[in-house]
Structure 1
C-alpha cells in the first residue's frame, strides 16, 4: 500500500527536522483508510502517541471559529457583513489609538475571519518566552486597533492571530458562553468529539511539547500558551486527536457536498452550516490561492503549505501532485511553540490527510508529511523529493540567526560607557498604555521583563552608548520556548534621554515587520 510505503520517507524527514512525535490519519471516499503514529508523545519516558492522543492543533482552531459564526449567521443572529463597530465597544468611535480607521467605519466579520485587515502580526504583545500569556484578554480589541497597517485594507490576506482572537471574544459575547463551551455545544458534542477541548493539556494521554534544537533533537518546553479564557484563544487554543478530527472533517466534507446538491445552508446529520460560504474566496494570497473563512483554498496540481512554517523557509513551495487531474484542495496549517499541525482536504473525493505533531521543528514536519501522503494517494507522474525539501528548509531555518549575531558584533562601538545603571531602571509602557516592560539592574547589565514576568525576561549587556543587547542564538531561544527571533532590532534596546539627561524612553523592535521599532515610555518604577 502506497500510504504505508510513505512512512520510511516521513521517518527520514522526522530525523532531519528534530520532530518528537506525529499522529497521522487519512480519509478517502469518506472512509478511514490509514492511521499511523510515530515517535513519542513523551520523549523522556519513550511513550508513543496513539490516535486518541491529544495534541495542540493551533491554527486549525480558526476553521472551528468560522464554523461557529456560520451557525450564528444561519440563525439570523448576525450577518457576515455585520460591522465590528456594532459588536466591539472600542470601535464605536475613532481615536488616536486606532491605526486603521476602517475598524470604526466598515470592517466586518469577514474581514476578521479572512485576514483582510492588513495589520501587522504583533505576536510578541501576546507571548514571548516560556509560554506565558502577556496580554490581558480585555485588551484584545485595543491591541488589535493599535497595530500598524502593512497592507491596504481588504487588498490581500495578511495573517492575524489578533483578528481571530477578537472573533473568539465576539462569539463569547453573542453566545453568552466561554469559547470552549460555545464550540463544544455547536460542534464537538454533536459529533461526539469527546477528546477535543480548548483547555489545558491535562489528560493522561496528552502530548508533551518540544522545540527542535539545531542538532535536530527535541527539547522539552511548557505546553502551549493558547488556552480558553485567555487572550487569542480563538486563534489557536483547540486541542484534539486524529480520531476526533477524522470525524470532524468527514462531516465537514459531507455537509459541503450535501448543501451544494440541495441548495440548503444546513445538513441534517452535520453541525457544519453554510459550508460553501466558508470555502468561498475572500482574500487573495497568490495567483492560484486564496483564503476563505478559516481555510486556504486552491486547486491541485498546486502549492500547499502557504500558512505554515515551510512557506517562510522554502525557496518556493513545490507543486503537489504534478500531472494529476485538477481538483479542489482546502487546507490549513497550525504552528505554536511546541506543536505543528496540518490538514489537507480534497472535497471532490472526500479525502482528508491529518498530521499532528508535538514539537516545533526545524521545518514544518506535519506539512511535509501531509504532502507526502497526498502524493501517495494521488500517484503523480513527477513526485516531489520531500526529504530534500526537508533538508533545505531545515538548513534555511538554521541560517537566520548567525548573520544577525555577526551583525551585532560588527556594529558594536568600542570604548563607550553607559549611564549609571539605575538611570535606566523603571517601567516603560507602549503608547496606548496596556503593555509594559520592567527594566531593572542585573549584575553589570540590565534585565527586561515583559509585563513584569521575570520568567519571560531578557538579560541585557551593555552594547554601546545607551544601547543594550542580548545574544542572537536560536537554540537559546528555543530552550525558553521563544518563537525564533532573528530581527536585529529585537536583540537591541536603545534608551533615549530628555534634554536634562534623564532616561525617559526606549525603542525596541518588538514586531519584526515594523523596522523602526516601537517606543516605550518610562512612567513608573518596577513593582517589587
Structure 2
C-alpha cells in the first residue's frame, strides 16, 4: 500500500492502539491485525499479539488470515462479473443452472429463487449448519454434496418474506459459478478478481500459501487464558460452503479490495447518471448492484431510523445503528449493544463480518469518503468477537463520532457473558434430566441410522471401555458411543439422560474446546432421542441440529424447525 497518512482530524493514534489492546485482551485473542483507508489512502496500520503462539511470531499487514463470511462479497462480485459477461443472469431461477436444486420442503424456492434471492438470504430455508459441520468444524460431506443437502433443508419461513442468514445458499451459488465456468469457484475468483486487482496474498486454498510462513494459526482460548490450536478451517475451494467463506487474505489486500470496490461503485453510479458511456470497461462490473439494498434485516423497519438492510454479500447500515455487527458473536452476547455516532451526522456503512473456528473478521466501507476499516483476528468465535468492537472503535475515531463509546467496556461484558454460557447449559441440562431407575438395554439402541436427504449417517455402538474393559458388575457411565458419517473425529461417548434420550455433554467448557464442541453450547444439540414404534422397538433417532427448534417471533411466517429424524436401517454396525 501507499505511505500512511496520519493527518486525520480527531484521530488519536495512541489512544486507539491502547483501546485495541484492551479489547483484544478482554477476549483473550491471540492476535489482531487491522488497517484503515481514508479518502482512498492508507491511514492506519496496527497489529499485536501472536499470529503463531508456538513461535511467538507477531502479525503484520501482510499476515494471512481466513476472512470467513467476508468472502461472500467476493462471491457476489464474481457473479456480477459473470452476469456482465453473459454467463449468468440475476433473474433466472438457479435451478436452470443446477437442475438438481429441487427444494423438498418448499418447491417454490427451487422454482423461483434467483441468484439475488440466494445472495440476499431470502429463500426462507433454515440455516442448519450443524447438518454439514460437525465437531472440530469438520465438514461431514464434500462440496459436491451440498446442492442436494441444501435442497433438503427444512423451511424456517416463507420464500422472500424475511432475511434468514444462510451459508448453504452461498454454497449453492458457488456451485452455480463452477457449473457455468467449468472450473472451481476459487479458480474463477482468482482469474476475475484477485489477479486483476493485484491481491497477491489472497488465497482460496491452504495448499497455495506462500513459503514465507506469514500465516496466522487458529486458536481457541481455554479458561485459564492459554491457547488451544484448532488448525486451519476446512472451508476452502471445493469444500462445502465454499462460496460462503473460502477466502484467506491480509489487511493490505483487504484494503486494496475495499478501495477497488468503492471506486468501481462510484464509477458505475456516474455511468448510470450519464448518457456518456466510458471508453474503457470499468473494473468489477456490476459491483454497485451487489452493494445496493435487497432485503431489510429487521422485522419492523420502523423500529430504527435509517437503513438496516442486506445487499448481495454486504450489510448496509445507517450509523447510528444498534444492528452493527448483527451476525457477530457479540450480538448474542450483548442484549444492549453499543451504538456509535449517536450525536454525529448520519453515515452509510456497507460492511460484513466473518466467524469460523479460530478466526474472526470485520470489514466496513464508507463510499462517501472512500474509507474502509478492516480487522482480522485468530480467536474462537465462542469466546466473543474482538474484531467487531475494534472495527467500531476505529470507525468512531476515523469520523470523530460523538460521543466516544468506551467499547472496551462492552468487550469485557461480552467476554463475561460468554463465560456464563457453559454454567447456564449445565443448569438447563440438570433441570431437564429426569430421575429414573430404568436400566437401559444397550442393544435397543445399537445400530445404524440414516437421513438420506441430508446425507447423514449415525452409527451407535457399545463403547470399547464398556465392552472390553469392564466386567458385568461394574457400571460404565458412558456405555455407548456414536460417530457421524464414519469420520474419526466425529465420535463422542453417550451417557443415559432420561428414558430413551442419551447425551454427550462435555465435562467442562475446556473439555468442549478440546473435543471441538464449542459450537454445541445449546441443550438440544447435545441430546440424541431414540423413538420407538408401536411394537416398542427403536425405529428412529431424533437430533435437533437446528439447536432449539425455532426462531424468535420476528415475523408471523416463521415456522418451527423440527429435529432431524434418522431412520434405523440396521441393528448391527
Q: TM-score range by the shorter chain?
A: over 0.9
Separation in structure 2 between the aligned mates of residue 426 and residue 217 of structure 1, nearest angstrom: 40
Separation in structure 2 between the aligned mates of residue 371 and residue 343 of structure 1, nearest angstrom: 10
Separation in structure 2 between the aligned mates of residue 262 and residue 324 of structure 1, nearest angstrom: 31
User: Does the aligned pair in 2 maintain the 1:430–1:520 contact within 8 Å?
Assistant: yes
Aligned pairs for 1:50-89 within 5 A: 50-89=60-99
User: Does the aligned pair in 1 maintain the 2:258–2:372 contact within 8 Å?
Assistant: yes
Separation in structure 2 between the aligned mates of residue 15 and residue 162 of structure 1, nearest angstrom: 33
Among 564, 567, 570, the residue aligned to 1:518: 564
Alpha-carbon distance change, 420 to 100 in structure 1, aligned in 2, over 3 angstroms? same
Does 1:498 pair with 2:519? no
Among 183, 190, 193, the residue aligned to 1:187: 193
What is residue 253 of structure 2 aligned with on the other side? 244
What is the CA distance between 1:525 and its match in structure 2? Answer: 5.8
Equivalent residue of 1:89, what SS? coil
Does 1:471 pair with 2:517? no
Deviation string 1:20-43 (CA, Å, 9 cap, x unpaired) is: 111111100000111111101111
Separation in structure 2 between the aligned mates of residue 23 and residue 266 of structure 1, nearest angstrom: 38
Residue range with higher mean Cα deviation, 267-276 or 128-137: 267-276
Deviation string 1:291-343 (CA, Å, 9 cap, x unpaired) is: 00000012223341112112222113322222222222100000001100000
Among 424, 427, 441, the residue aligned to 2:445: 424
What is residue 135 of structure 2 aligned with on the other side? 129
Does 1:105 pair with 2:111? yes
Does 1:447 pair with 2:447? no
What is residue 400 of structure 1 aligned with on the other side? 421
What is the CA distance between 1:127 and its match in structure 2? Answer: 1.4
User: Does the aligned pair in 2 maintain the 1:416–1:465 contact within 8 Å?
Assistant: no
What is residue 353 of structure 1 aligned with on the other side? 373
Deviation string 1:429-470 (CA, Å, 9 cap, x unpaired) is: 125261111111112321121111121212111123222112
Equivalent residue of 2:437, what SS? coil
List runs of 5+ in structure 2 lacking aligned partners: 1-10, 302-306, 467-475, 551-561
What is residue 401 of structure 2 aligned with on the other side? 380
Residue range with higher mean Cα deviation, 382-391 or 144-153: 144-153
What is the CA distance between 1:268 and its match in structure 2? Answer: 4.7
User: Does the aligned pair in 1 maintain the 2:449–2:567 contact within 8 Å?
Assistant: yes
Separation in structure 2 between the aligned mates of residue 433 and residue 276 of structure 1, nearest angstrom: 36
Output the TM-score relative to the length of structure 2.
0.87
Separation in structure 1 between the aligned mates of residue 337 and residue 160 of structure 2, nearest angstrom: 25
Equivalent residue of 2:502, what SS? strand
Among 434, 454, 457, the residue aligned to 2:491: 457
Residue range with higher mean Cα deviation, 306-315 or 29-38: 306-315
Residue range with higher mean Cα deviation, 27-36 or 372-381: 372-381
Does 1:178 pair with 2:175? no
What is residue 333 of structure 1 aligned with on the other side? 353
Among 258, 272, 295, the residue aligned to 2:284: 272
What is the CA distance between 1:348 and its match in structure 2? Answer: 0.4
What is residue 554 of structure 2 aligned with on the other side? none
Deviation string 1:357-404 (CA, Å, 9 cap, x unpaired) is: 111152110110001111111112211121111111122222223222
Among 382, 385, 402, the residue aligned to 1:364: 385
User: Does the aligned pair in 1 maintain the 2:541–2:566 contact within 8 Å?
Assistant: yes
Deviation string 1:483-517 (CA, Å, 9 cap, x unpaired) is: 43232121211112334443221111111142542
User: Does the aligned pair in 2 maintain the 1:255–1:266 contact within 8 Å?
Assistant: no
Equivalent residue of 1:454, what SS? coil
Equivalent residue of 1:354, what SS? strand
Separation in structure 1 between the aligned mates of residue 149 and residue 546 of structure 2, nearest angstrom: 13
What is residue 489 of structure 1 aligned with on the other side? 524
Output the TM-score relative to the length of structure 1.
0.94
User: Does the aligned pair in 2 maintain the 1:266–1:273 contact within 8 Å?
Assistant: no
Deviation string 1:169-209 (CA, Å, 9 cap, x unpaired) is: 11011111111110000000001112111102654111110
Separation in structure 2 between the aligned mates of residue 380 and residue 393 of structure 1, nearest angstrom: 23
Separation in structure 2 between the aligned mates of residue 320 and residue 423 of structure 1, nearest angstrom: 57
Does 1:320 pair with 2:340? yes
What is residue 305 of structure 1 aligned with on the other side? 325
Equivalent residue of 2:517, what SS? coil
Aligned pairs for 1:147-226 within 5 A: 147-200=153-206, 202-203=209-210, 204-226=213-235
Runs of 4+ aligned structure 1 residues displaced above 6 Å come to 264-267
User: Does the aligned pair in 2 maintain the 1:100–1:145 contact within 8 Å?
Assistant: no
What is residue 313 of structure 2 aligned with on the other side? 294
Among 267, 286, 307, the residue aligned to 1:258: 267
Separation in structure 2 between the aligned mates of residue 212 and residue 403 of structure 1, nearest angstrom: 19
